[in-house]
Amino acid sequence: MRSENGQVWVWNWLPGHDGPVLAGLFELGVEPGGRRLGRFRYAQTYLDHPGRLPIDPVLLPLRPAEFKTTDLEGIFGVLRDAGPDAWGKFLIDRLHGPQDELGYLLHAHGGRTGSIDFSASRDIPPAPPRMLTSFQNLAIAALAVRVIISAKGAGEPIPDDLREVLDAGTSNGGARPKFTVALEGRTWIAKFPAKDDHAALPPMPLQECAALTLAQRCGIRVPEHRLVDVKGVPVLLVERFDRVGAQRLSYASARTVLWSNPEVQRWSYMGSYNNFSRQMGPWIRTPDEDRHELYRRVVFNALTGNQDDHDQNHGLVFDPEIASYRLAPMFDPVDSTVRPVRSLAMAFGDDAGTISIDNLLSNPESFGMDKGACDAALRFIAVQIAGHWRAELRQLGAAEPQIDAMAYRFAIAESFVRANVTSAHRDDISAEELATGPGAP
């Protein structure tokens, strides 16, 4: 199916509103040379709205103009962030048949990331999101995941009760099986094991839960998270950081932020943390704290071998209290690689994304820090990881051989601590020292 006339109406949930406001029209066409061209124009009613906010403060400021892009296949990053990725598209294909890009945006019903919504007509607001609402629903979802990803299920009609449940998985990005869930008055993402997960390692939801807790120990902000057993299936619940009660908070992935300066993104520092740190400036009122936090995430990813740290696994979320974006809590901090990784997905130092202590200490100014502060952060994080990774996995019920099989990911942290931190100091390094390490400004 193609969306009507290559256009979708864009809606935005403004702070303090518990429903979407029509924001504008997005049209996707093809240039004579064959490149896709996206055009966006704000609705005059939106420009006149007392609570108006730009949906992208850098590329789409509040003006009665037509904005155009051929980057990211013609779809402004901030609109893409509100659509599905591999998992959601896979479900939509199975539920509604193959779509074009706008069709995917329109069919993602399950609680999209951020505050943007879409509809096919300016007179019909977007439908309320489909969500799972109980543990019973989660159990049906676990069954539905099995049915839909099994080879036998491909091409077969999907029973009606499963269709409804699967609709709740159509919207958040990413490739792993996931659903939006409303539980205990809050909104969560439920992440499931996937077909190709490596059997020798702990289940991915368990690994991810342990990684989030470990990151928290390292002074990194993470969403509330927990591992639950759904009829024998380990499922990770991660609280949505873009929902507060009935309100939806705006979101922009690092990719959107990076492409907000297309020239820089095209020609230099391709997809680097350094560039993300710089480009955050116009989005965040007081970016220094977030830059330090970003540095901690670089170190954490390097010392836990997380190469899945690409530009859609970082993002900014709008905080209505300070009327500014902030770095969103860390999410998806683990990858499924079964070999030691040598570099991160995004560059961060003089030697691009190479994982080494020298490289981690090579570019402090990119993160608004000096070498002493970086060194203190690195020591603190290495000690936390080396000292706790086994216990976090064990506590969640991972089997000992599975834990041993993960040792390769933490080898750099362990050898760094052995070589650089005396045993007397390993327990003493405190969060305070992280903040006020030698040389900290």
Ligand X SMILES: Nc1ncnc2c1ncn2[C@@H]1O[C@H](COP(=O)(O)OP(=O)(O)O)[C@@H](O)[C@H]1O
Binding footprint of ligand X on the chain (CB under 6 A):
87, 113, 172-176, 178, 189, 223, 238, 240-242, 312-313, 331-332
Provide the minimum distance between the beta carbon of 111 and ligand X in the complex, in angstroms, as a whole number.
9
Q: Looking at beta carbons only, is 291 or 314 nearer to Mg ion?
A: 314
Q: Is 353 in the site for Mg ion (CB under 5 A)?
A: no
Positions in 60-89 near Mg ion (CB under 5 A): none
The two structure tokens encoding residue 76: 């402004």
DSSP 41-65: EE-HHHHT-TT---SBTTTB-SSSS
Pairing of strands 251-253, 21-30: unpaired
Which position among 167, 242, 290, 332 is part of the footprint of Mg ion (CB under 5 A)? 332
Q: Judged by CB under 5 A, which stretch of 2-10, 49-57, 178-186, 324-332 contacts Mg ion?
A: 324-332
DSSP state of 420: H
- Phi first, then psi: give them for residue 312, nearest 5 degrees: -100, 0
Which position among 304, 313, 384, 402 is part of the footprint of Mg ion (CB under 5 A)? 313
Q: Looking at beta carbons only, is 290 or 332 nearer to ligand X?
A: 332
Task: Select from Mg ion, ligand X, none the partner in contact with residue 175, using the beta carbon and a kind-dependent cut-off of 5 to 8 Å.
Answer: ligand X
User: Closest by alpha carbon to 275, among 344, 333, 324, 347?
Assistant: 347
Provide the minimum distance between the beta carbon of 431 and ligand X in the complex, in angstroms, as a whole number.
23
Provide the minimum distance between the beta carbon of 411 and Mg ion in the complex, in angstroms, as a whole number.
24
Distances in Å between the alpha carbon of 405 and those of 29, 183, 393, 400? 49, 34, 12, 9
Positions in 362-381 near Mg ion (CB under 5 A): none
Provide the minimum distance between the beta carbon of 26 and ligand X in the complex, in angstroms, as a whole number.
19
Q: Looking at beta carbons only, is 336 or 356 nearer to Mg ion?
A: 336
User: Closest by alpha carbon to 308, among 173, 400, 412?
Assistant: 173
Q: Looking at beta carbons only, is 87 or 380 nearer to Mg ion?
A: 87
User: Closest by alpha carbon to 254, among 270, 267, 241?
Assistant: 270
Q: Looking at beta carbons only, is 22 or 280 nearer to ligand X?
A: 280
Three-state secondary-structure class, residue 128: coil
Provide the minimum distance between the beta carbon of 140 and ligand X in the complex, in angstroms, as a whole number.
20
Q: Looking at beta carbons only, is 236 or 434 nearer to ligand X?
A: 236
Task: Select from ligand X, Mg ion, none the partner in contact with residue 189, using the beta carbon and a kind-dependent cut-off of 5 to 8 Å.
Answer: ligand X
What residues contact residue 299 under an 8 Å CB cut-off, 6+ apart? 218, 360, 377, 378, 381, 382
Which position among 174, 223, 287, 333 is part of the footprint of Mg ion (CB under 5 A)? 174
Cβ(271)–Cβ(311) below 8 Å: yes
Q: Judged by CB under 5 A, which stretch of 46-54, 68-76, 168-176, 237-245 contacts Mg ion?
A: 168-176
DSSP 329-356: PP--------S--SB-SS--BTTBTB--
Cα 157 to Cα 159: distance, rounded to the nearest angstrom: 6
Q: Looking at beta carbons only, is 41 or 225 nearer to ligand X?
A: 225
Provide the minimum distance between the beta carbon of 317 and ligand X in the complex, in angstroms, as a whole number.
8
Nearest-CB residue for ligand X: 174
- The angle formed by the CA atoms of residues 17, 23 and 28, to the nearest 5 degrees, is 145
Provide the minimum distance between the beta carbon of 312 and ligand X in the complex, in angstroms, as a whole number.
5
The two structure tokens encoding residue 431: 């969060």
Provide the minimum distance between the beta carbon of 439 and Mg ion in the complex, in angstroms, as a whole number.
34
Q: Which residues bind Mg ion (CB under 5 A)?
A: 174, 313, 332
